[in-house]
Amino acid sequence: MVNWEALEPAIFPSEPFDIKGTWSGSATVFPESNPVIYYTGVDAKGQQVQNYAIPADRTDKNLRKWVKPKEGNPMVVADKEINGSAFRDPTTAWQANGYWNILVGSRKGSTGVAYLFKSKDKKTWTKTARPLHEVPNTGMWECPDFFPVSTSHEKGLDFSELGKDVKHVLKVSLDVTRFEYYTIGTYFLDQDKYVPDKGQEGCMGWANESDSKEEDVKKGWAGIMPIPRTLRLDPSGKQLLVWPIDDIETLKGNKVQMSNQQLETGKPVKISGITGNQRKQSHLILAGKILETLQNEIQSPGCHRSLRSTVMTNVYKPMFGGFVDVDLSDRKLSLRSLIDNSVVESFAAGGKTCITSRVYPTLAVFQDAQVFAFNNGTEPITLEHASAWSLESPRKMNN
């Protein structure tokens, strides 16, 4: 999960039902081990339709070539109720009550919508009488995901898993805010309805690139995939915890530590022994004691401020952040950060909040990159323990 090989595009515009664009979607491996890609195509009339593709050669372990059967494509088109210019991103399919199900994101005016479609044969799809879920004033719902999580253990579940110890997560990306939001709730099969638990809504960022097209061409990429993450419920069952996958531990190299370091206001302390490297990443875990005057249950802010991340003037340098629910019964806060050549990811309070930023330093690069602990608060605090590792670069198998 940390070593990846880049292959040629699996699908690209080639048919009347996707000649003006092949957009995002999802893959499903059905019980008979038949993989299928569901994706959005833009047809010759500019309408967004849902299509499918299957492997050209099932014996190819990398499934490099895919075909788009003319029979059954497009498999879902917008009816008179659906806005055909805002109808995209089919999910992975799941099975329930003898039907296969997928969601497709859309909007009705300013109301965000996840339309539900059902099929017996995975070819002919029928829209249900009402959407699985919709929320007023949220705009277009991009890239929906709908999946189960266990309330009794941390192992991942099959997308079709149901039962009393299962909650469901509905995740959408909002075109209006450019954030990803998720809710945790209950999937009512008999009603084809999803009901979020009251008040359980959060947001996650992703590694988007918001510079100019000219800068994207110069750098050679735009948005990228960050380190894969695990998702599980916290012990309260009310919030998702987002955490880097365990495989990243295999990349750890040189380690340095610091303990019981007093951090005065506005005075950075260098964590010696860790510098950047052209072929390496840095990984930092911090945990510090908190002032006794704080209450046991608070919301602590966490943020990335990229204004000082580079002297370049033509790149996007925003500030990202959010509030983290923390239990201060042990008087501690924790932070874990993964630092790459152009990406900083921070996981606060055991994964309750994740922030991802793109940064392009021009001075603090390679051996000149260093790690500091600092305190921008109004009172001194104690950095109880800090560990930092250099990480080997993931292997690029096609280089």
User: Residue 256's pLDDT is what?
Assistant: 86
pLDDT band of 268, cuts 50, 70, 90: confident
Does 345 fall in a domain? yes
pLDDT of residue 305: 57
Q: Are 77 and 125 spatial neighbours (Cβ–Cβ below 8 Å)?
A: no
C-alpha to C-alpha distance for 272 and 279, rounded to whole angstroms = 19
Is 280 within a domain?
Answer: yes
Q: Are residues 247 and 157 in the same domain?
A: no
Domain of 26, CATH number, reads 2.115.10.20
Question: What pLDDT does residue 62 have?
Answer: 93
Digit-coded pLDDT (tens) for 166-214: 999 999 998 888 778 888 888 888 888 888 875 433 334 467 777 777 8
- Based on the domain organization, do 253 and 361 belong to the same domain? yes
Residue 255 shares a structural domain with residue 159: no
pLDDT score recorded for residue 307: 56
- Are 363 and 260 in a shared domain? yes
- How many C-beta neighbours within 10 Å does residue 122 have? 19
Q: For residue 86, give Cα distances in angstroms to 107, 128, 180, 194, 326.
A: 6, 18, 17, 21, 38
* pLDDT single digits (tens) 112-153: 999 999 999 998 999 999 999 999 999 999 999 999 998 888
What pLDDT does 309 receive? 58
Q: What's the pLDDT score for residue 201?
A: 34
pLDDT at 364 over 60: yes
In the prediction, which pLDDT does 250 show? 79
Q: How far apart are CA 133 and CA 135, in angstroms?
A: 7
Mind listing the pLDDT tens digit for each residue in 151-167? Answer: 888 888 888 988 888 99
pLDDT tens profile 291-301: 322 333 344 55
The model's pTM is 0.65
CATH number reported for the structural domain that contains residue 342 in this entry: 2.60.120.560
Q: Is the pLDDT of residue 326 over 50?
A: yes
- Would the pLDDT of 284 be above 50? no
Spatial separation of the C-alpha atoms in residues 331 and 291, rounded to whole Å: 8
One domain, residues 117 and 247: no
Residue 217 dihedral angles phi and psi, to the nearest 5° = -65, -40
Domain assignment of residue 196, yes or no:
no
Q: Is 18 exposed, middle or buried (0-12, 13-18, 19+ CB in 10 A)?
A: buried
Residue-wise pLDDT tens digits, 216-257: 788 777 777 788 788 788 888 778 888 887 778 878 888 888
Q: How many CB atoms lie within 10 A of CB 326?
A: 22
What mean pLDDT value characterizes the chain? Answer: 82
Same domain, 118 and 245: no
If asked whether residues 274 and 383 sit together in one domain, one would say: yes
Q: 74: cis peptide before it, omega within 30°?
A: yes
Q: What is the pLDDT of residue 304?
A: 55
Work out the pLDDT band at 283, boundaries 50, 70, 90: very low
When divided into structural domains, the chain yields a total of 2
Residue 204 included in any domain: no
Q: Residue 332: pLDDT above 50?
A: yes
Query: How open is the CA angle 136-142-145, to the nearest 5 degrees?
Result: 100
Same-domain status, 123 and 247? no
* 69 found inside a domain: yes
End-to-end Cα distance, the chain = 17
Q: Does 232 map to a domain?
A: no
Strand stretches in 189-279, DSSP E: 193-204, 229-233, 240-244, 252-263, 269-275
Q: What is the pLDDT of residue 338?
A: 86
Domain membership of residue 379 (yes or no) is yes
Confidence (pLDDT) at 245: 78
- The range of the structural domain enclosing residue 87 comes to 22-133+150-163
- pLDDT given for residue 205 in this prediction: 47
Per-residue model confidence (pLDDT) at position 252: 81
- The whole-number average pLDDT for the span 313-320 is 63
- On the question of pLDDT at 317 being above 50, the answer is yes
pLDDT at position 4 is: 83
What phi and psi values does residue 139 have, to the nearest 5 degrees?
Answer: 70, -165
pLDDT band at 313 (very low <50, low <70, confident <90, very high): low
- Looking at the domain assignment, is residue 353 inside a domain? yes
The tokens of 95 are what?
């099975």
User: What would the mean pLDDT of 316-324 be, rounded to a whole number?
Assistant: 64
265 and 158 co-located in one domain: no
Do 156 and 293 share a domain, yes or no?
no
Instruction: Report the chain's C-alpha Rg in angstroms.
Output: 23
Residue 265, phi then psi, degrees to nearest 5: -60, 125
| Paired sense of beta strands 381-392 and 35-42, if any | unpaired
Length of the chain: 399
